[in-house]
Amino acid sequence: MHLSPSIQKRDSPNEILRARMEKKPSGRFTFLKTQQENTCQQQVQNNRDRIKSNLRGIEFWQQIGQILHILNRPLPVTKDQIEELLDLGKKLDIEINTMDSEFICPNTKEFHENYDILEVLGEGCLGLVKKIIHKTSQDLYAVKIVQTQDDEIIRNFKRLIKLSHENIVKVHKLYVDFDNSFQSERQEMFVVLNSLGHYCEADAKEIFKQLLSAIEYMHRNGICHRDLKPNNILCVNNKKQIKVTDFNVSKFSDSYKEFGDLKDREKIEMWTYTGTVAFSAPEIFTGEGYNQMVDMWSAGCILYSMLSGQLPFNADYLNDLIDNIKEAKINFPVELFEGVSEEAKDLITQLLQKDWALRPHPDSALKHGWISEDQKLLESQRKGMIQDQF
């Protein structure tokens, strides 16, 4: 009820009661308005009309704001960009529609045209995070740069773009470089082995030389991969070239800066139990620490698999497998190694030594007779050709 000043004339209690209640046949009561309440209702209505008038003004400015927002929007993507994006979706078997073109760009050219890359903010398992600045607005952002063949990253982005919360990082746009990140001709060595059964010795030799060269480079720069296996080796260029990948559990050390020669510093000390059991060296399971020579053990397992299509150590149970690895007893079944040279088996035996100190370093392994044999033959042939010319 409206409260009036005390000087205003009031209705008597009887008048109020009589005015407000009137018995109806239905047995219900209806409330009738007094003169004072009519005046109050009029004031309420006047207030409502004034509020509506103000709201119309607000709506007008909201419309103006929407127009300005549209005018300030970046130019829409072109028809060619949309077609390129839809084609990307077909290649990766991902559902991409025209609405996604506002948030997903099928190339990185636009990114480099609009942003300057600044310092590194962080480094994770999958890539780098760098600070970037928009060339026109000078707004600062963070960009995550990932090199992957997993199309799940696009699906995850489509989920993240829908999130908008003040306590959750906001993603704005995804730039995809298909040519460099989603090459269909790249295959894991594991897939190639499953297809071939095993490599012929000549091909295995050429590819294994590349692996030893990669390991030598890593160790020389203070990096121990710790998870070398066929799944982490990509085969490219018609399967004749390899690329080591997946450094998720690798150890990066700066100790190499203090020493000139790989053998002088001898080892990168580690204690973390990690890697894939079937390709792990015996010392990893002792708990007494290990060094970068675990990579050479893994290389021996890989070479064994390349030539035979099987693992050097097998067991039905994990504990039994670990025990077999710790014993380090190597067998070369005739049915698996028929036709494989003794030199190849000798290199495998050296790499799979139980004592890490007896394993060859990668530079020494590259000089092993099985690998250097063809190189010496080529050098002698070149010398013969030179002598013939004279």
Assess whether 249 and 326 both reside in one domain.
Answer: yes
Q: Average pLDDT over the chain, rounded to whole? A: 75
Assess whether 231 and 338 both reside in one domain.
Answer: yes
Instruction: Please check whether residue 276 lies inside any domain of the structure.
Output: yes
Percentage of the residues of the chain whose pLDDT score is greater than 70: 62
d(CA 315, CA 353): 20
Select from 181, 197, 217 the last residue of a domain. Answer: 181
Give the active site residue among 227, 246, 316, 363: 227
- CA 176, 137, 82 angle in degrees (round to 5)? 30
pLDDT at 108: 82
Domain that residue 128 falls in: 79-181
Q: Tell me the average pLDDT across 301-330.
A: 96
Closest CA to 183 of 125, 250, 129, 237: 237
Assess whether 236 and 205 both reside in one domain.
Answer: yes
Assess whether 177 and 191 both reside in one domain.
Answer: no
- Give me the CATH number covering residue 85: 3.30.200.20
Assess whether 150 and 104 both reside in one domain.
Answer: yes
pLDDT at 13: 53
Select from 156, 181, 206 the last residue of a domain. Answer: 181
Confidence check: pLDDT of 113 > 50: yes
Give the model's confidence band at 37: pLDDT under 50 very low, under 70 low, under 90 confident, else very high: low
Assess whether 129 and 246 both reside in one domain.
Answer: no
Assess whether 96 and 119 both reside in one domain.
Answer: yes
Helix segments in 73-188, DSSP class H: 79-92, 109-114, 152-160, 178-181
pLDDT digits (tens, 9 = 90+) for 87-112: 767 766 677 776 777 788 877 888 88
d(CA 339, CA 208): 18
Assess whether 304 and 159 both reside in one domain.
Answer: no
Assess whether 198 and 260 both reside in one domain.
Answer: yes
Residue that wins the pLDDT comparison between 168 and 152: 152
Assess whether 111 and 193 both reside in one domain.
Answer: no
The answer to whether residue 227 is catalytic is: yes
Q: Tell me the average pLDDT across 236-252.
A: 80
Residue that wins the pLDDT comparison between 21 and 245: 245
Confidence check: pLDDT of 3 > 50: no
Question: Within 13 Å of residue 293, how many CA atoms lie on the same side as its CB?
Answer: 23
- Give me the CATH number covering residue 335: 1.10.510.10
Instruction: Please check whether residue 44 lies inside any domain of the structure.
Output: no
Instruction: Please check whether residue 20 lies inside any domain of the structure.
Output: no
Where do we find the tokens 């005390």?
Answer: 6
Domain count, the chain: 2
Confidence check: pLDDT of 187 > 80: no
Scored b (16 or more CB within 10 A) or e, 305-319 reads bbbbeeebbeeeeee
d(CA 225, CA 245): 9
CB 235 within 8 A of CB 187: yes
Sequence-ordered list of residues with C-beta below 8 angstroms from that of 373, at least 6 positions apart, any chain: 343
Select from 148, 181, 214 the last residue of a domain. Answer: 181
d(CA 384, CA 382): 5
Instruction: Please check whether residue 57 lies inside any domain of the structure.
Output: no
Confidence check: pLDDT of 208 > 90: yes
Instruction: Please check whether residue 108 lies inside any domain of the structure.
Output: yes
Instruction: Please check whether residue 10 lies inside any domain of the structure.
Output: no
Instruction: Please check whether residue 237 lies inside any domain of the structure.
Output: yes
pLDDT digits (tens, 9 = 90+) for 275-295: 999 999 999 999 889 999 999
Report DSSP state, residue 165: B
Highest mean pLDDT among 10-24, 150-164, 244-258, 329-343: 329-343
pLDDT at 282: 97
d(CA 101, CA 88): 11
pTM for the predicted model, two decimal places: 0.55
pLDDT digits (tens, 9 = 90+) for 331-357: 999 999 999 999 999 999 999 999 999
Instruction: Please check whether residue 331 lies inside any domain of the structure.
Output: yes
Assess whether 191 and 299 both reside in one domain.
Answer: yes
Assess whether 143 and 227 both reside in one domain.
Answer: no
